Structure 1
Amino acid sequence: MSSTFTVDDNILKDLRADCANCFGLCCVALPYSKSADFAFDKDGGTPCRNLQTDYLCGIHKDLRNKGFRGCSAYECFGAGQKVSKVIYRGIDWLSNKEIAQEMFDVYPIVQQLHEMLWYLNEVLTIDAAKSIHKEVKQIIKDTENLINKSPKYILSIDVADHRAKVNKLLIHASELVRAQVPKSKKNTRRGMDYLGAKLKGADLKGANLRGALLIAADLRNADLRWSDVIGADFRDADISGANLTGSIFLTQAQVNAAKGNKHTKLPAPLVTPAHWLQGK
């Protein structure tokens, strides 16, 4: 079966949010609308009212209770510090307003490319996907080269075209992993809407759940080993006691958006969210 997601610590560090080394870009660049996930409306390019002068969130430890579940689940995959400290070399948007909008436009592009790098690095840890590791290493290099360019170059990147190239390899890796699960084709229900689905204790081993709407689904004690969950929406899905070890392309953001408990089994290097243990 697929390997535990273990890659170089420096790679993981680069592909995880480091708010202390970011200029609060997600709190400024991105828009959001008042909803169950956000307490008020905010336009893109406008600082969130909770953003402090040190670029840190003033309610970070209490986001969910303050109506910002969307923020608590968000993951920039290290794009924030990359844009702030590397691409712009520590030049911040607040003191240099002439570059502010450019920085805000560069940020979501880098975020998407970093997310691709996260998935690609995961593929390199999967034994079943060894046959495509050489191709994956090349596209990782190509992706990193795109990011290590000037802001103007980054703004010209055709992200959709590059994503299509990456996705081809991710789909291949998914097929190789899920092929190891006996009768996995029975679990392939791509594109189906699982909104609020009753799947307690369901056998979803090797399932193709790419982009599935699992919002508020009951997945308690479900077996999701070796399933492909890339892009699946886990908001308010109850995965208490579920087994997700060996599942592929699961991110911390998806886990943070779900409900779970100490009995939920997650693949490394994902961690149990604090709000699960607090019952929130």
Structure 2
Amino acid sequence: MIYTYEDKRNKELRVDCKNCFGLCCVALYFSASEGFPTNKDAGKPCINLQSDFTCSVHKSLRKKGLKGCTAYDCFGAGQKVAQVTFRGRDWRQAPESADEMFQAFLIMRQLHEMLWYLSEAFILQTDQGIKEEIRLFIEDTESLTLLEVNSLLALDVAEHRNKVNSLLKSTSELVRSKAEGGRNHNSRSRNINSRKSDYFGADLRKTNLRGADLRGACLIAANLRAVDLSFADLIGADLRDADLSGANLTNSIFLTQAQINTAKGDSQTKLPMMIVRPDYWSK
């Protein structure tokens, strides 16, 4: 059987909490302003983390004000650090390695996120020269995820990300340019012509967002009900509490599970194949 990049995203870049050591529950800083009831310092275990690294309130996270937990996605970095970098030794067994493990997790999460985007870019890209360059970057990034902890901690992640971003941007431009022909330019539909980034609380139901550049855009609480977001670039867009009910995101590009987990939607929202519909969305 041929192993594809879709397989990679499905198997290696998905959260597998059973093979992790609750790293996101310890390594991360929790902020009361970002979906948590109180602040929690980085490196301090969440009060709900049990001795077996499971969550005591997993089934009622949102009811208890822990929306940040349901939104977070490590792209499979947790199990990679736990089972590969530290070979199955957890931070309780080896407390002297705890700080290194937590820092490694933060770096691994960035690398796995890049792999998620690069895998999608490889699938989307039709320019064979750029496609080959993306493939080589995937291999290079994968090799970085297998480094020993000291080498991993010494990585210049920002430099690597800048190179990756260049490939993602060129792929985005290619895909969005092809969507231009599908834009509706009639008087009832406004188009985004400039590179605006702040749509906080905006009503975008009559705005043509097909093939739009929404990289890093603030779409918090935006009304996107029944909007066609086909081929729109959503990398880094903040979709917290954005209403996606009935919206079409089937062919949106560079969308992540974490973004969808923070938004509102319903059974009519169309999502990309790789994204799972949150079970707390309205029916």
Q: Do they fold alike, i.e. is TM over 0.5?
A: yes
Q: 2:266 aligns with which of 251, 255, 261?
A: 261
Between 1:221-230 and 1:36-45, the stretch displaced more is 36-45
Q: 1:65 aligns with which of 52, 63, 66?
A: 63
- Using the size of structure 2 for normalisation, the TM-score is 0.92
Change (3 A) 1:248 1:130: farther
**1:8 & 1:224 partners in 2: Cα distance?**
21
Is 2:178 aligned against 1:180? Answer: yes
Matched residue type, 1:276: W
Partner of 2:220: 215
**1:251 & 1:192 partners in 2: Cα distance?**
19
Q: What is the deviation of 1:32?
A: 1.4
- Using the size of structure 1 for normalisation, the TM-score is 0.93
**2:66 & 2:210 partners in 1: Cα distance?**
33
Partner of 1:26: 24
Q: 1:152 aligns with which of 150, 154, 174?
A: 150
Q: What is the deviation of 1:60?
A: 1.4
Q: What is the deviation of 1:202?
A: 3.0
Q: 1:242 aligns with which of 238, 247, 258?
A: 247
Q: What is the deviation of 1:207?
A: 0.1
Whether contact under 8 Å (2:176, 2:232) holds in the other structure is yes
Q: What is the deviation of 1:58?
A: 1.2
Corresponding residue SS for 1:181: helix
Change (3 A) 1:273 1:167: same
Encode CA deviations 1:198-223: one digit per residue, 9 max, x unaligned.
11243200000000000000000111
**2:193 & 2:126 partners in 1: Cα distance?**
19
Between 1:118-127 and 1:253-262, the stretch displaced more is 118-127
Whether contact under 8 Å (1:226, 1:248) holds in the other structure is yes
**2:209 & 2:106 partners in 1: Cα distance?**
33
**2:9 & 2:280 partners in 1: Cα distance?**
27
Between 1:135-144 and 1:8-17, the stretch displaced more is 8-17
Partner of 1:48: 46
Aligned length: 273
Between 1:41-50 and 1:7-16, the stretch displaced more is 7-16
Q: 1:192 aligns with which of 194, 197, 202?
A: 197
Corresponding residue SS for 1:227: coil
Corresponding residue SS for 1:276: coil
Change (3 A) 1:277 1:10: same
Partner of 1:232: 237
Unaligned runs of 5+ in 2: 186-190
1:67-216 maps to which residues of 2 (within 5 A)?
67-126=65-124, 128=126, 130-182=128-180, 187-216=192-221
Whether contact under 8 Å (1:261, 1:276) holds in the other structure is yes
**2:37 & 2:195 partners in 1: Cα distance?**
33
Corresponding residue SS for 1:124: helix
Change (3 A) 1:128 1:194: farther
Q: Structure with the greater relative contact order (CA < 8 A, sep ≥ 6): 1 or 2?
A: 1
Q: What is the deviation of 1:145?
A: 1.2
Corresponding residue SS for 2:49: coil
Corresponding residue SS for 1:145: helix
**1:221 & 1:77 partners in 2: Cα distance?**
28
Q: What is the deviation of 1:146?
A: 1.2
Change (3 A) 1:8 1:249: closer
Q: What is the deviation of 1:57?
A: 1.3
Corresponding residue SS for 1:166: helix
Between 1:267-276 and 1:110-119, the stretch displaced more is 267-276
Q: What is the deviation of 1:187?
A: 3.3
**2:269 & 2:206 partners in 1: Cα distance?**
13
Encode CA deviations 1:21-49: one digit per residue, 9 max, x unaligned.
00000000011122360011110000000
Corresponding residue SS for 1:61: helix
Between 1:163-172 and 1:61-70, the stretch displaced more is 61-70
Encode CA deviations 1:111-170: one digit per residue, 9 max, x unaligned.
001000000001121154544210000001111111111111011111110000000000
Q: 1:276 aligns with which of 271, 275, 281?
A: 281
